[in-house]
Amino acid sequence: MKYWNAILFIVLLLGCSQNSPNKLTIATAANMQFAMKALAEAYTAKTGQQVELVVSSSGKLTAQIREGAPYDLFFSADTKYPQAIYETGGGTSSPVTYASGQLVLWSTSKNLQVSIDQLTNDAVKHIAIANPRTAPYGTAAVEVLKQLELFDAVKDKLVYGESISQVNQFIISQAAEIGFTAKSVVLSPNMSDQGNWIAIANSLHAPIKQAMVVLKNDRGLEKEAEAFAAFVGSEKGLSILRSFGYK
């Protein structure tokens, strides 16, 4: 069992001025990286509101929020982390489920036919999953392996990324021959022509319900944050989410 401990922390700036005090800062789970970028770009084009995205695992973002990171909204890969933030006084209102995610098995190795059976193939030395301690998609991947009674057979092949973004790096670079990631990744324009993937049956793991919460802070952007949240739940926002495979 191998762990990569490097923390992937991505900041995407959308809009003109990095220094604007009115810029929304959105903490988003790594599975939402490409979908949230599309949402933020559409929202900026519509309203002129500048948006900054901070991308990491849900668990790490939760830890940063509890330590006082100046984020305005938090889009998690589950419902547990936003609920915990709200219950400890960190949210302005109760969390809202904005999407349901889909787990996929993905490989960019040209000589590998993607299937569950390949996980026990001797040619597969490394299987990438997100760290289940901090990333809900990693938890789902472990549930799948255990449900199929494969976990013990492949546990020594597992390589853990700190987030889905790092898992994607392992798969794209072929540091891992195959791995579990989010459907939103393989449907993104950045990745749609890379490798092959199969969807994992939802019956093999708990539903991946994803929730968001508007965060309490002293930045004075609560109304702007609520407006962005409303946009995500609008027909335009939902159509963007659906295009990335969310339900």
Binding-site residue positions: 58, 164
DSSP string over 142-177: HHHHHHTT-HHHHGGGEEEESSHHHHHHHHHHTSSS
Question: Beta-carbon neighbour count of residue 246 at 10 Å?
Answer: 22
Residue 28 in tokens: 């988003």
3-class SS string, 63-86: HHHHCCCCCCEEECCCCHHHHHHH
The span from the CA of 160 to the CA of 131, in Å, is 5
154 burial type by CB count under 10 A (0-12 exposed, 13-18 middle, 19+ buried): middle
Q: Are 133 and 78 in contact (CB under 8 A)?
A: no
Residue 30 in tokens: 């790594």
Q: Are 57 and 81 in contact (CB under 8 A)?
A: no
The span from the CA of 24 to the CA of 10, in Å, is 16
Q: Are 164 and 185 in contact (CB under 8 A)?
A: yes
Binding residues for molybdate are 58, 164
Coil vs helix vs strand at 98: strand
